[in-house]
Structure 1
C-alpha cells in the first residue's frame, strides 16, 4: 500500500520534471550542432560571393553629342563595353557574366562616379524621359557580351540635357542577368552635354580644317561680333586667320577688339593651331638678292627659316631682326605668288639645297678650264677655231668694230731722243683697256706696228698653250686661280686683236685715215 501510495504521488510530479530536463538537454545539444553547420555554410557562401567584377566603357565618347545622332566613340568607332576583373584590369573572357546581357541607361551628369555607390544609389540616379516625351534613348539599349566584350550599335538621344539639374548626362551600363556568388558593379562614362541636333549646323570642328569658315574656331560665334569683325577684314577661313596670326598677331588681336579677353584669345589661337597642315614648304627669293637669300615658310605663312648663300637657317636660330626681315619677305611673297617655289615637304627642299651646294663647289673649282673650253668650242662652231692644234693666225674672232668700240689706247714715252713711243708691255697693261684706246688715237701708229711685230708668234702661242694646259683645282683657292687664268686669257686675246689691227693698217693705209 505504501508503494502504491508513493507511485500515485510521484508520477504526476517526477514525470513532467524528467521530460523537461531531457528536452532541454536535447535542444541544447542540437542547437550547438546546427550552429556549427550554419557557420560552415556561411563561410562557403562568402567564399563563392567574394568574386567582384565590374563593367567598364572601353571607348571614349566623341563630343559633342547631338540628339538624333548616333552616339559614337573617338574616330567614329563603335563604343565597346567590357567585363573587367578590378584587381588586374583584364577582360573576363569566360565564366559567369562573360556572355551576359547588359542594359544601357542615362545617368545624371552630377552623379559621383568616383565613389563606391550601391545598386540603389545607381538606380536612383537614372534619368527618365520627360512627361509626354519618347524614351530618352532610342535604338538598341541592350548589349550582349561576347567573351566579356559588348558593342553598342545604333543608339541615340531623343532629348537634350538642358532640362536636367546638372545640364549634363552620363551613360551607364548595368547587368540584366544575375549570377550566384558573382557581384558586378555598374559602369558610367564622363559627363557630357547633349545638344539639340539643330545646333550641329554651328558645330566647332576638332581639329579644324584650313578651309573651314573662321567661326568654326572656339570663341567665334557664327554671325557674332568677332565673326563680323574678321569678315570685314577679309579673314573668312581658318587659313586666313592663321596667316594673319603668323604675320601680324597684334593686328589680328586689334581686329577682334577688346571684347575678346586674353583667355578667349588663347583658346581661339590654340584651337586654330591644331589645324592639320599638308607639310608643304614654300621658298621665296627676292630678285634683288640674286637668288642668294630667301625665306622658307609653310602654307599658313609661318616662317620656318631663311636661306643665305644656299644655306638653310632654321627660325630657331634667327635673331629678332632676322625674324622681322623674314616676315617682311613672306608678305612680299604673298604679293608675288608666281615667284614662290613650292616643295612637297622640307626633306625635298633640303635635298635640293644640298645638290646646289655640291654643284656650286664643283663649278667653282672647274670654272677656269671648263669656261675656257666652252669659249673655244663656241668659237670653233662660228669661225672654225679648234684647240689644240690652233695657230695664232686662226684667231679671227674679233671684228674691227669691236676693237674700235673699246676706246683709245694709252702709249707711254720710252726714248725721248728718238721721239718714238711704245706700249707698256707689262702684265697690267695687257689686262687694261688702255692699249686699245691708244691704237685709235695715237699720232704715230707705226710705233705700235713695230712693237707688235717684235712679239714672236711662238711666244703668244706658248702663252695660250700654258693657259689651256692648267687643270681645275678642287681646293679653296680654285676660284682665285681661275680668275687669274681668265685675266691672262683676256689679255692675250686683246693683245692679239691689237696685233691684227696694226697689221691691217699696215696693209691698208686708208684704215689709218678713217680712225
Structure 2
C-alpha cells in the first residue's frame, strides 16, 4: 500500500509518496483479501480527521464523525475536488483532491478519512478508514523553499530574499523566473531595481549573491552572451546627424558602456477497506 508524505500543501493534489495516486482498498476483515463481490462498487467520501484520533480500529460511526475537522470560520470546505469516489472491484483512487486551507486544530497534524456513502443501504458492516497523521502547510511554504543553487527555470520566489508581496510585484512586471531576473540584472540593473522598488541594500545584496550562484546550462549561457552582446552593441552605436549646410555626416556622441494514504483502512465484521 502507498503512504502519504509527512507534509502536504494547500492547492496541491493529494498524492502518495513518490507522486503515485492514493489508493483505497476494501478488504475482508478476517483474511485481508480485497473484496471483489458485494459492496465492491460503493461510493466513498473523503474527509479530514484530527491527527490525534488514536483510537484502535473498533470505533463507532458516531465516534468517527466527531473526529472530522470543522473548517475555520469564514472559510469553505477543507477539501476541494473529487471528494466522492467510487470503488471498482474493491479499489478506488484519489486523483483530484486538494486541501484549501492550513489546518492547526488540536494538533499540528491531521489524517485523511474515508467513509461509505449511505452505508445502511447495502446491509453490510463496513468500518471507516483513516490514514497516518501528517501536516498540511500553505503552498507558499513549498514555493519558497530556497535551493542552495537555483536553476534558471525556478520561480523567482526560490531566490533568498524574495517572497510574498515582492514576488507578486515582480510577476506583475514580467519577472516570473530566475532566468527573467538574471537577464534583466545583467542587461539593465537600474531597471530591475526600479521594478523591485525600495529595498534595503543588505537585502539587495542577498538576492544578487544568490542569483549569481544560478545553475546555468550551456544553452542558457550562449543565449545570455548573445543578448548581452546585442545590448552592448545597441548602447555603443554612434548617433549620426546630417549637417544641413554641408550635407556631411557628423559624429555627435561617443560610445557608452553597458551597465528558482498511507492507505485509509476500513475494517468491519464483514469487510475491511484499506
TM superposition score category, shorter chain reference: 0.5 to 0.7
1:94 is matched with 37
Whether contact under 8 Å (1:67, 1:160) holds in the other structure is: yes
What SS does the corresponding residue of 2:126 show, helix, strand or coil? strand
Whether contact under 8 Å (1:59, 1:73) holds in the other structure is: yes
1:145 is matched with 87
Whether contact under 8 Å (1:92, 1:147) holds in the other structure is: yes
Whether contact under 8 Å (1:105, 1:172) holds in the other structure is: yes
1:194 is matched with 136
Measure, in 2, the Cα distance between the counterparts of 1:113 and 1:78. Answer: 27
Whether 1:213 and 2:182 are equivalent positions in the alignment is no
Aligned Cα root-mean-square deviation (Å) = 3.0
2:14 is matched with 71
Whether contact under 8 Å (1:108, 1:169) holds in the other structure is: yes
How does 1:269-280 map onto structure 2 within 5 Å? Answer: none
Whether contact under 8 Å (1:168, 1:191) holds in the other structure is: yes
CA 1:93–1:203: 2 relative to 1, 3 Å: farther
2:118 is matched with 177
Whether contact under 8 Å (2:79, 2:99) holds in the other structure is: yes
Whether 1:84 and 2:23 are equivalent positions in the alignment is no
Measure, in 2, the Cα distance between the counterparts of 1:181 and 1:166. Answer: 36
What SS does the corresponding residue of 1:91 show, helix, strand or coil? coil
2:107 is matched with 166
Runs (5+) with no aligned partner, structure 2: 151-159, 162-208, 215-274
Measure, in 2, the Cα distance between the counterparts of 1:147 and 1:115. Answer: 23
Counterpart of 1:110 (choices 8, 28, 52) is: 52
CA 1:151–1:75: 2 relative to 1, 3 Å: same
Would you say how many aligned residue pairs link Structure 1 and Structure 2?
A: 160
Map Cα deviations across residues 122-176 of structure 1 (whole Å, 9 max, x no partner). 00010121121111101110010000001112110110013x1112111000011
Q: Which portions of structure 1, spanning 4 or more consecutive aligned residues, are displaced by more than 3 angstroms?
A: none
CA 1:203–1:86: 2 relative to 1, 3 Å: farther
Measure, in 2, the Cα distance between the counterparts of 1:104 and 1:113. Answer: 19
Measure, in 1, the Cα distance between the counterparts of 2:55 and 2:19. Answer: 25
- Greater Rg over alpha carbons, structure: 1
Map Cα deviations across residues 336-371 of structure 1 (whole Å, 9 max, x no partner). xxxxxxxxxxxxxxxxxxxxxxxxxxxxxxxxxxxx
Map Cα deviations across residues 262-317 of structure 1 (whole Å, 9 max, x no partner). xxxxxxxxxxxxxxxxxxxxxxxxxxxxxxxxxxxxxxxxxxxxxxxxxxxxxxxx
- How many Å apart are 1:70 and its aligned residue? 0.6
User: How high is the TM-score relative to the length of structure 1?
Assistant: 0.29
- How many Å apart are 1:120 and its aligned residue? 0.9
Measure, in 2, the Cα distance between the counterparts of 1:182 and 1:88. Answer: 17
Measure, in 1, the Cα distance between the counterparts of 2:101 and 2:78. Answer: 6
Measure, in 1, the Cα distance between the counterparts of 2:53 and 2:6. Answer: 19
1:119 is matched with 61
How does 1:271-310 map onto structure 2 within 5 Å? Answer: none
What SS does the corresponding residue of 2:125 show, helix, strand or coil? strand
Map Cα deviations across residues 465-499 of structure 1 (whole Å, 9 max, x no partner). xxxxxxxxxxxxxxxxxxxxxxxxxxxxxxxxxxx
What SS does the corresponding residue of 2:141 show, helix, strand or coil? helix
Q: Which has the higher contact order (CA 8 A, sep 6+)?
A: 2
Map Cα deviations across residues 435-487 of structure 1 (whole Å, 9 max, x no partner). xxxxxxxxxxxxxxxxxxxxxxxxxxxxxxxxxxxxxxxxxxxxxxxxxxxxx
Measure, in 2, the Cα distance between the counterparts of 1:191 and 1:136. Answer: 16
